[in-house]
Amino acid sequence: MNPKLTLRDQKKEATAYALAVAAFELVLEQGMDGFIVDDIVRKAGYSRRTFANYFSCKEEAVAQYFMGCVTNQDEKTIFADFTDDSTPLDVLYGLLKMQFTSEFLHKLRQFVSLAKQYPSLEPYILSVFRRLQIAAQEVLEQFSNGRYADGYTHLLAGAVYGAFVPIMDGRLNVLLPGETQDDRPGAISFDQYLNSMFAYLRNGF
């Protein structure tokens, strides 16, 4: 929970998260077709009206469990290791290492797997990547402070975050942290993929 939020906002955040966790647990237990909104609120201990204050449907509640992992990093933490000589790519690389933790990557792949089973969840996958991309663009704009064209930072963020979609949906054979060659024979590590992707961006295709 973000400590900068007011007490009221923290309570609202906690309520939304409790509903999202209940929805996520139900989809694992019963599948998307096996429960309704009333089951979510009963499991979380809230009213249907409270649910409606946060979510428009059960799919949105399930998605929030994963989107809740997309948090804004503290600016001081992000910029601590960079100097005036650092490039937007350096900053973007550091930001990715902070955002794409092992826990987040595994949750995201789990979300994509659920969406393959239940297509009604698919639109929310793009929402996760869109949130990440917007956060990255805002960080890059603050760092560049007008030294680069606006289109440049948008292009970088779009290229980098778009490159993670095929990892999550299995089109690229990449090991997530904690996985081994036994899990995905012939796969390269996540760090190898990340470094090769940034090498393309730095050196050209």
CATH number at residue 105: 1.10.357
Q: For residue range 163-203, what is the model confidence (pLDDT) as tens digits?
A: 888 888 888 999 988 888 998 899 999 999 999 999 998 88
DSSP H helices, the chain, are 7-30, 37-44, 48-54, 58-67, 75-79, 88-99, 102-117, 122-144, 150-162, 165-168, 190-203
Query: 175 has which bridge partners?
Result: 189
Structural domain of residue 17, as residue ranges? 7-63
Are 138 and 182 within one domain?
yes
Asked whether residue 38 carries a pLDDT value surpassing 90, the answer given is yes
Q: Evaluate whether residue 1 is within a structural domain.
A: no
Q: Evaluate whether residue 17 is within a structural domain.
A: yes
Among the listed residues 195, 64, 67, the one whose alpha carbon sits nearest the alpha carbon of residue 128: 67
Least confident of 17-21, 40-44, 143-147, 173-177: 143-147
Q: Give the mean model confidence (pLDDT) for residues 7-34.
A: 93
Is 0.95 topped by the overall pTM?
no
Are 84 and 56 within one domain?
no
Are 117 and 199 within one domain?
yes
Are 144 and 55 within one domain?
no
Q: Specify the residue for token string 């966790």.
A: 21
Q: What's the CATH number where 49 sits?
A: 1.10.10.60
Q: For residue range 104-145, what is the model confidence (pLDDT) as tens digits?
A: 888 888 888 898 899 999 888 888 888 888 888 888 888 887
Query: 189 has which bridge partners?
Result: 175
**SS3 per-residue string spanning 8-25:** HHHHHHHHHHHHHHHHHH
Does residue 132 contact residue 161 with C-beta atoms inside 8 Å? yes
Q: Residue 170, CB half-sphere, CA atoms under 13 Å: how many?
A: 11
Within 8 A by CB and 6+ apart from 100, the residues are 164, 190
Among the listed residues 164, 154, 152, 92, the one whose alpha carbon sits nearest the alpha carbon of residue 128: 164
CA torsion, ordered 125, 204, 173, 137, to nearest 10 deg: -20
Asked whether residue 81 carries a pLDDT value surpassing 80, the answer given is no
82-101 burial string, b = 16+ CB within 10 Å, else e?
Answer: eeeeeebebbbbbbbeebbe
- d(CA 7, CA 9) in angstroms, rounded, equals 5
Among the listed residues 180, 41, 68, the one whose alpha carbon sits nearest the alpha carbon of residue 131: 68
Are 117 and 96 within one domain?
yes
Are 127 and 52 within one domain?
no
- d(CA 142, CA 32) in angstroms, rounded, equals 41
Are 122 and 77 within one domain?
yes
